Amino acid sequence: MISESKKTILLVEDMAIIAMAEASTLKKNGYSVIIAGNGNEAIKIASENSILDLILMDIDLGKGMDGTEAAQIILKNQDVPIVFLSNHTEKEIVEKTEKITSYGYVVKNSGETVLMASIKMAFKLFDAHRLRLESENKLLESDRKFQTLEKQIDDVIWTMDMNFRFTYVSPSIEKMHGFTVDEMLKLNLQDFLTEESSKKVFNILSEEISSYIKNKKEDNSVTFELEQIKKDRTVFLTEIRARFLLDKENNPIGIIGVTRDITRRLLSEKALRDSEKTLNLALEGAQIGLWDQNFKTGIVNRSDHWAMMLGYDPAEMKNDLDFWKSNIHPDDIETALNEAERHEQGLTEFYKVQHRLKCKNGNYKWILNWGKISERDEEGKPVRALGIHLDIDEHRQIEESLKLSEERLRYALEGNSDGIWDWNLKTGAVYFSPRYYTMLGYKPNEFKPSYEKWKEFLHPDDLIKSETTILSAIEMLNPFSVEFRLRKKDGSYCWILARGKVAEKDSDGKALRISGSHSDINERKLAEEELKKNENKLNSIFKAAPVGIGMTSNRVLQEVNDTMCKMLGYNRDELIGNSALMLYPTVEEFELVGKEKYKQIEQFGTGTVETKWVCKNGKIIDVLLSSTPLNLRDISGGVTFTALDITERKKTEIALKESQQMLQNVLDKFPGVVFWKDMNSTYLGCNRAFAIAAGLKNAVEIIGKTDFDLPWAKTEAQKYQADDKQVMNSGVAKLNIIETQHQSGNKIAWFDTNKIPLIDDLGKLYGVLGTSTDITNRKESEEALRISEERYSLAQKAANIGSWDWNMLTDELSWSELVIPMFGLKSGEFKGTMAEFWKRLHPDDIPMIEEKIKATIERNENYRVEHRVIHPDGNIRWLLETGNVFNDKDGKAYRMLGMVQDITERKMAEELLRNSEANLNSLVNNRNEAIWSIDNNHNFIFVNDFFKQEFFKAFNIELKRGMNALNILTPEMTELWKPKYDAVLSGEQLMFRFSNKLDNELKFYEVTLSPIISDGKVIGVSALSQDITGRKKNEEEILQRKEELERFEKIVVGRELKMIELKDKISELELKLKELP
């Protein structure tokens, strides 16, 4: 009995008695048997039965086709092992069957043992054949993935021998170095490395080799940086990741590595440092105090201006948090510390609080303390925070005066569900009510209201219509109403109904102020859009469906799609309004279909029947008709139907039933190795394939020899005989022995061998029968596949690049091991579908990725996209994906294959640079002082918004970057400013005052000019100008009062002196009176 699951054999034999005997033998050995009496019947059975495991084919099948012809027809349509069974032993017949298939050749009456062994060998050969195909496909797949990796990544993948000579270089070397692959393979390390880097790499790799040989550590990877030289002799910096290639004994036989050009990363880091330096210089010039808190050490570093703002010398400050806490006003300390704690817990985006700090002289000053935690550890605990101090003492007094009026206005607006807005056209000032902010997901006053801010939030598609409506209403003094979309804080858009009218006009009747409201109509618009989308979707399905679709009422055609018109040859007008009877060949068929269809609808809610329709040209087609009523309770309301043309399918079914193909018995020389021995392991015979492997001229020469007489290795001969004894002693077959064999011509082959005990009719064991399948090609393919997959895996790990494979037909998505953690998942969590992939993407990136995939599929463009993914823990990472699409022979895409790499660190560096620049612009543009900077040629580098506005008022000139700061001044002003600019460009720092008449009012300004220094050189001037007109008036008034006091003191002192003189004279007279008699 066979040990596998029960297999089915098709026995093709024209002699009924022989067929019955052979079928009995097969069934006795555990096989299921189907019998065919001729070639045609065999072909028919084979085509209708996919469960056939083997065909036992006779060659002579009487009249009609013989077994060889039947076998050829069967093998054209399916892959199944065929063993020929015949009385023929002629050479030409054997050779003929060899050309058809080579799974077995058995001479009739060879006995049950030989027949069963031949059948089992055929199964082994067929399994080996399928394994070989699978191995070859896997090898091709691995090579294709590796080739895709080579094409998609900018990094260079390479391998070296132990003499540090390249043995492989990926094609991206030409993009990085300028050398072709062939040129690079001929170079030594010294040819493309600087002298210092050559020494460095020799030292590193030599040390790693020594260390590995000594310790045999599992992780032998190493990362280092080298300066490399391009073909044009340009020097650039690279990052190298490398590890050893090991043989089976884990001895190093080479090196595999990945080279990455890190020039761009270094430039980004330098740009970030330069931006931070510029920001610090600008903040210093803008008189802003900075602080930097380290939560681990408890140290707080503060800028000099932070201390001077409170009247301290910087050396007097303590660099700890207690210094700040101890100087907070008692009424403010709870708020300041609570806000700090909330920010540390991640509940607020910024730490922003106004509080009072004690100055050195004992007075308190209002400070705007604004900062943010810039770094957290793996547990989310704060590590570092940065922030600024702004002196807002004067602003607080102004705010108090406005507080009361704002509170009254707030009470009025809170009762209204609409957002209220007011726009002063003369000053540009804009007001938004609290509801206006909350409608968009913001806190009240979270951003500064302005017309530009409204335009910034406006959907680009709504800009022209909305702005035109509002500006026209202002010009025509008409009320207006317009619908548009505004972007909310979370990035989504909501629909707004805006109403407004002119609220104030000037003496000429022109609009001065316009006000109105915003109503949230998002739910209404979304419902309208969803309805429209569903209508469009239904229309699209109706038009594009590959089947005929229509609707009838009382079996009169009311609507049909283009597919149905094309199927029948009518146009739409010829069908609509007519009875469906026109489509049927007879009235009886029309009535029969209606009866059956409506019967099914009554029972199941839908009806499906097969019928025949007549086309316009008279052609009759087979149709599968399915109908469903619009309302199950009232069929008279109409019925929708689909009609599928199944004419070709019906023809195919008939053709398959009519085509009875022929099967034949095939007798051929057994394609594998067959041999048999006596009880002493002496050969009694073998087949031709075995004789050739043993270096014999023919099979007869094997008789009387043992394994030690043949070219096998001694150890192999010993093992062969040991297996023989085991089988003969136990009487049990030994199957699937995987072994090597040294053959003639120094060839080494691999075999899958089965050994079966030979037992005579009396049950006596008299030897062993062996069958072997040559699996050398399979072994070589498996080894090649192992090496290729190892190379592919090492390359991916070294470059930290994962691969993905999307089967577009099944929508299955497979990831390599490195991809899974990139999406925040653990092994086994990924479900292997595109739906799971879309689920992990950042919502804002999905439309862009969809467009990229569409372009790749439709225009065969390379797929390259940077996008974000959201991990289950909420963490967001940036990934770079590249790939290609594969099309079938008809040009239809069926598969996409590509690579993915985590680029979060690069994106973070770019974001830091952008944030740094944005922070600088935000800080200086929100100041009510003029701030600007010029280069060594007196050209503007930067001008803040306040300075632009003030300068335009004074000179009617719009300042722009690159404009010369002296050329736009009057000659008198140039004489004032040029010497001062030049003095600062020579390294001095100046502070001076000047006056200027603006709108018939004399204005006084205090200016601070500071040199901008980079790498020890002055590269420009930063300037800060403050309007001190009010302070100047106060100083003049104090001086006047002082002069008046001095005059008063002189008058009083004069009188006192006269009184003293008068008293002296009186005293003198009194003395003279006493002297009189």
Summarised one tens digit per residue, pLDDT across range 708-742 is: 999 888 888 899 999 999 999 998 999 888 888 88
Question: What residues in the chain have per-residue pLDDT under 70?
Answer: 1-5, 142-143, 145-152, 271-272, 274-287, 397-417, 534-535, 538-542, 544, 655-671, 783-799, 913, 915-924, 1038, 1041-1042, 1044-1067, 1069-1070, 1072-1077
Instruction: Return d(Cα 566, Cα 765) in angstroms, integer.
Output: 76
From 306, 387, 302, select the one nearest 923 (Cα to Cα).
387
What is the dihedral angle through the alpha carbons of 285, 287, 292, 293, rounded to the nearest 10 degrees?
A: 180
Domain ranges of the chain: 8-135, 153-261, 268-391, 402-528, 548-651, 673-780, 800-909, 927-1027
The CATH code for residues 268-391 is: 3.30.450.20
Whether residue 838 contacts residue 846, with contact meaning beta carbons closer than 8 Å, is answered with: yes
Return the structure tokens found at 144.
Answer: 């294709």
d(CA 374, CA 294): 10
Q: For residue 179, give the nearest of 200, 201, 156 by alpha carbon.
A: 156
Report the alpha-carbon distance of residue 6 to residue 31 in Å, rounded.
6
Q: What is the pLDDT of residue 495?
A: 92
Amino acid type, 1055: R
Answer for the pair 325, 337: CB distance below 8 angstroms, yes or no: yes
Helices (H), 153-262: 173-177, 181-185, 189-192, 195-215
C-beta of residue 752 within 8 angstroms of C-beta of residue 735: no
Q: How far out from the chain centre does Cα 1028 lie?
A: 56
Closest CA to 900 of 152, 141, 147: 152
153-261, what's its fold? Beta-Lactamase (3.30.450)
Q: What is the CA radius of gyration of the chain?
A: 47
Alpha helices in 587-636 (DSSP H): 587-604
Which of 564, 533, 535 lies closest to 547 in space, CA to CA? 564
Does the domain at 673-780 match CATH 2.40.30.10? Answer given as: no
Q: How far is the C-alpha of 155 from the C-alpha of 109, rounded, in Å? A: 67
CA distances from 86 to 124, 126, 666 (A): 22, 21, 7
> What number of H helices and E strands is found in the chain?
32, 40
Contacts of 37 (CB under 8 A, 6+ apart): 13, 14, 16, 19, 61
Task: Please enumerate in sequence order all residues whose Cβ is within 8 A of that of 708, keeping only pairs 6 or more positions apart, or say none.
Answer: 714, 717
Q: Nearest-CA neighbor of 950 among 962, 958, 961, 939? A: 958
Answer for the pair 727, 756: CB distance below 8 angstroms, yes or no. Answer: yes
Distances from the Cα of 762 to the Cα of 33, 691, 765, 954, angstroms: 28, 31, 9, 126
Do 264 and 272 meet the contact criterion of CB atoms below 8 Å apart?
Answer: no
Cβ-based neighbour number of residue 377 at 10 Å: 10
Q: What is the DSSP letter of 443?
A: P
> Can you tell me which residue has the tokens 């900018």?
154
Task: Give the pLDDT confidence score for residue 615 in this predicted structure.
Answer: 94
- Nearest Cα neighbor of 275 from 821, 877, 942 is 942
Find where tokens 């229509």 sit. 550
What pLDDT score does 278 carry?
Answer: 61
From 1.20.1250.20, 3.10.20.30, 3.40.50.2300, 3.30.420.10, which CATH number describes the 8-135 domain?
3.40.50.2300
Enter the CATH code of domain 548-651.
3.30.450.20
Q: Are 252 and 246 in contact (CB under 8 A)?
A: yes
Rounded Cα gap, residues 464 and 602, in angstroms: 56
β-pair type (235-246, 419-424): unpaired
- Torsion-angle region of 734 (φ positive above 0: left; ψ -120 to 50: alpha; else: beta): beta
466 CB neighbour count, 10 Å cutoff: 22
The DSSP element (H or E) to which 542 belongs, if any, is: helix 522-544
**pLDDT at position 479, please?**
92
User: What are the backbone angles phi and psi of residue 506, rounded to the nearest 5°?
Assistant: -85, -175
Q: Which residues contact 877 (CB under 8 A, 6 or more apart)?
A: 822, 824, 868, 869, 871, 902, 904
CA-to-CA distance for 475 and 526, rounded, in angstroms? 33
Residue 877 and residue 905: Cα distance in Å, rounded? 9
Q: Which CATH class is domain 402-528?
A: alpha beta
The CATH class of 800-909 is alpha beta
Q: Does residue 463 contact residue 446 with C-beta atoms inside 8 Å?
A: no
Structure tokens at 1020: 């420009």
This prediction has a pTM of: 0.34
The values of phi and psi at residue 79, to 5°, are: -100, 105
Domain 927-1027 has CATH 3.20.20.70: no
Distance of alpha carbon 49 from alpha carbon 206, whole angstroms: 65
SS3 of 679, please? coil
Q: Do domains 153-261 and 548-651 have the same CATH topology?
A: yes
Give dist(CA 563, CA 567) in Å, integer: 6
